[in-house]
Structure 1
Amino acid sequence: MSLKIRLARGGSKKRPYYQIVVADARSPRDGRFIEKLGSWNPMLGKDDANRTVLNNERVQHWLDNGAQPTDRVLRFLNEAGLATREARNNPNKAKPGKKAQERAAEKAQKAADAAAAAE
């Protein structure tokens, strides 16, 4: 049985509130879980101390027993100093798509042709 440390959504519509839980990887997001480890309230400011609340001892226990945190939870654990998250880098994500590159090349070609005709 693979265990995940992940978020379970609560709160009302447009007012999210998340529980940080240990659950079987096969169970639904808001379904059955084994233990609640903390909470995350994204509606609070980033400098608020109550934005992320963790039970560090229990989190460390589950990490030692093989539970795998999701990427978002791993960010919280990295801030708390319980785990390390390597920074990700995808330089291709910032590049425009194929069609946008074609349009930009076409526009540059028209500008060059107009500049050559003006001379």
Structure 2
Amino acid sequence: MAVRIRLTRKGRKKHAFYRIIVADSHSCRDGKFLDIVGTYDPMQEPAAVRIDEAKLADWMGKGALPSETVKTLIDKCKAAAVQATA
């Protein structure tokens, strides 16, 4: 079973809100998932990204691969954390 870390869409029409989830790569976009790792809200200014670092590290340690979009969100979240501590 190939496990991916990807986005699932929530919210209403033209007001999207996304969950960052861990799911089997063969399941549909809004189908079954294993765990919720974080959220992404592009409607806020600036876009809000919240990721549970412990869960993310645990799933990536088990072999879950992030999608390209999630990979960029992780990088943005880590860059924001570095700026906040500096």
Shorter-chain TM range is 0.7 to 0.9
Structure 1 unaligned segments of length 5 or more: list them: 82-119
Aligned length: 78
Structure in which a larger fraction of residues adopt helix: 1
Residue 74 of structure 1 is matched in structure 2 by 71
Residues 49, 77 of structure 2: 8 Å contact kept: no
Consecutive unaligned residues in structure 2, runs of 5 or more: 79-86
Identity of matched residues, %: 33
Secondary structure, counterpart of 1:7 in structure 2: strand
Using structure 2 for the length normalisation, give the TM-score. Answer: 0.86
Answer 1 or 2: higher relative contact order, Cα 8 Å, separation at least 6.
Answer: 2
- Which position in structure 1 is the counterpart of 2:83? none
Question: What letter matches 1:14 in structure 2?
Answer: K
Alpha carbon RMSD of aligned pairs, Å? 1.0
TM-score scaled to structure 1, two decimals? 0.63
Higher share of residues assigned strand: 2
The structure with the larger Rg is 1
Distance 2:30 2:68 in 1: 17
Where does structure 1 differ by over 6 angstroms across 4 or more consecutive aligned residues? none
